């Protein structure tokens, strides 16, 4: 497939918006601060293509009046910190055409083709102050269908916030008004002075992750991506396996998220054939919106997640029941309460330089923490409103993660049919993938 005639323009808010420097919370400035790609595919619109493009641009411009931070730019300040310059520079809107049909895209699974459909960001050669926080590309296919590829800076919005924006943009595109404006004041997640908590906490998630005992450089190995479907029956089997642990040992049954995440971690240890004494870590995120006291305001726009970690040795992960591994995840999640979150914020506030705490998920580059082999990172999209983005021409035929090429990186999301099935989008080294697939399904029925 070839994608050509890429043209772009900057779309700015339709009306004048507040301008100035918006302070970011400590949670905005750590973990993943690069752009997160997602993609939507749509059938042919009955309207003329130029009308489709004009409608998308006009509605985007109107929506940015409410979500104006997305039209700004990031900049560095002291101590490795970032701030958001709300200057109304705008978001980048690309138009492109593909010489293929939607039916040619191999069931719309993530593939290298996605690199042509979702805008990439050149972080190495572009000053931070010039990088748009939202970049999108609309690509028309020969059949008349089209894709909408989005890349949104994680320094400005987490998954809930990004999808809130997409939902409101779609609403405006249909000719409706914004239903729930975003809550933009990030001071609710700023560190206190004096600190809000005196609790002594070991913030293990900020320590360097384990490396392979034999010292191989795992960053250089080729990776591949797959989508593994779990039927509703298979999901229930995994939950039941996890809950075979004695009921007296847990206050309530393990959730499907805990069971599936444990299964991914366990399977990766088996597929990679670790030595029993090999340390391994599981990185994941916990949404804190309803864990704060009081809860964060409705539609808080920013990062309201904390990075967490569970650790162990591969030998104990693969030799113990699934419930044992699930309990490690449960224990980490249980730690996340208002006091814990404030301890994280205060810990980060007291750091001389925050730059070393960025990229706490799988990365294939030469810098930053590496959560590839022997580690995994699992992100859940199970609570996100992923589907139903109707811009006026019908709901998407597919929505999913964009390019994802970091060893050990995985996403759990709902199947699109609403039948209780789930999908695990996984990136793994080529040499481990086939064994992972075999064990992943084999162990469900054992």
Nearest C-alpha neighbor of 237 from the set 409, 359, 420? 420
Question: In sequence order, which residues have a C-beta less than 8 Å from that of residue 379 and are 6 or more positions away?
Answer: 284, 285, 361, 409, 410, 411, 412
Question: In sequence order, which residues have a C-beta less than 8 Å from that of residue 52 and are 6 or more positions away?
Answer: 45, 138, 146, 393
Q: What span, in angstroms and rounded, lies between the C-alpha atoms of 353 and 46?
A: 53
Q: From residue 172, give the alpha-carbon distance in Å to each of 41, 65, 305, 387.
A: 19, 12, 28, 17
Tokens of 427: 């990136």
Respond yes or no: is residue 35 known to be catalytic.
no
Q: What span, in angstroms and rounded, lies between the C-alpha atoms of 225 and 41?
A: 19
H-assigned helices in 174-321: 232-242, 256-271, 314-319
Q: What are phi and psi of 400, to 5 degrees?
A: -170, 180
- Catalytic one among 154, 164, 369, 404? 154
Q: What span, in angstroms and rounded, lies between the C-alpha atoms of 404 and 377?
A: 12
- Catalytic one among 390, 398, 414, 443? 390
Respond yes or no: is residue 390 known to be catalytic.
yes
Chain Cα centroid distance, residue 194 = 33
Tokens of 208: 């360097």
Residues tagged active-site: 154, 390
């Amino acid at each position: 497939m070839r994608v050509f005639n890429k043209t772009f323009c900057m779309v700015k808010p339709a009306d004048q918006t507040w301008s100035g420097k918006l302070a970011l919370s400590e949670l905005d400035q750590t973990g993943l601060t690069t752009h997160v790609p997602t993609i939507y595919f749509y059938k042919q619109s009955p309207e003329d293509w130029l009308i489709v493009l004009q409608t998308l641009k006009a509605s985007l411009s109107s929506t940015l009046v409410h979500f104006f931070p997305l039209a700004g730019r990031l900049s560095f300040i002291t101590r490795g910190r970032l701030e958001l310059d709300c200057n109304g520079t705008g978001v980048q809107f690309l138009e492109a055409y593909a010489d293929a049909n939607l039916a040619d895209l191999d069931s719309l699974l993530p593939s290298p083709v996605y690199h042509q459909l979702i805008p990439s960001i050149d972080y190495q050669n572009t000053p931070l102050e010039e990088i748009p926080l939202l970049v999108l590309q609309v690509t028309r296919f020969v059949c008349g269908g089209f894709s909408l590829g989005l890349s949104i800076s994680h320094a400005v919005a987490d998954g809930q916030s990004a999808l809130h924006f997409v939902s409101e943009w779609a609403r405006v595109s249909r000719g409706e008004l914004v239903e729930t404006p975003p809550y933009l004041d990030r001071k609710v997640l700023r560190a206190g002075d004096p600190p809000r908590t005196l609790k002594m906490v070991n913030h293990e998630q900020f320590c360097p992750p384990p490396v392979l005992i034999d010292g191989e450089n795992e960053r250089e190995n080729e990776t591949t991506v797959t989508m593994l479907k779990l039927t509703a029956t298979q999901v229930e089997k995994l939950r039941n396996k996890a809950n075979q642990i004695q009921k007296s040992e847990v206050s309530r049954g393990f959730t499907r998220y805990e069971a599936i995440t444990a299964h991914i971690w366990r399977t990766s240890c088996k597929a990679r054939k670790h030595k029993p004494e090999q340390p391994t870590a599981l990185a994941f995120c916990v949404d804190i919106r309803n864990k704060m006291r009081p809860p964060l305001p409705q539609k808080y726009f920013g990062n309201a997640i904390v990075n967490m970690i569970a650790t162990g040795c591969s030998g104990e992960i693969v030799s113990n029941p699934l419930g044992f591994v699930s309990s490690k995840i449960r224990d980490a999640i249980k730690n996340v309460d208002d006091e814990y979150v404030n301890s994280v914020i205060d810990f980060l506030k007291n750091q001389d330089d925050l730059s070393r705490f960025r990229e706490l998920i799988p990365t294939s580059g030469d810098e930053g923490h590496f959560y590839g082999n022997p580690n995994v990172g699992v992100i859940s999209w199970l609570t996100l409103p992923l589907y139903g983005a109707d811009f006026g021409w019908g709901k998407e035929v597919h929505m999913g993660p964009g390019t994802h090429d970091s060893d050990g990186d995985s996403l759990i999301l709902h199947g699109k049919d609403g039948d209780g099935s789930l999908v695990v989008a996984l990136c793994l080294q080529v040499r481990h993938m086939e064994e992972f697939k075999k064990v992943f399904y084999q162990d469900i029925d054992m």
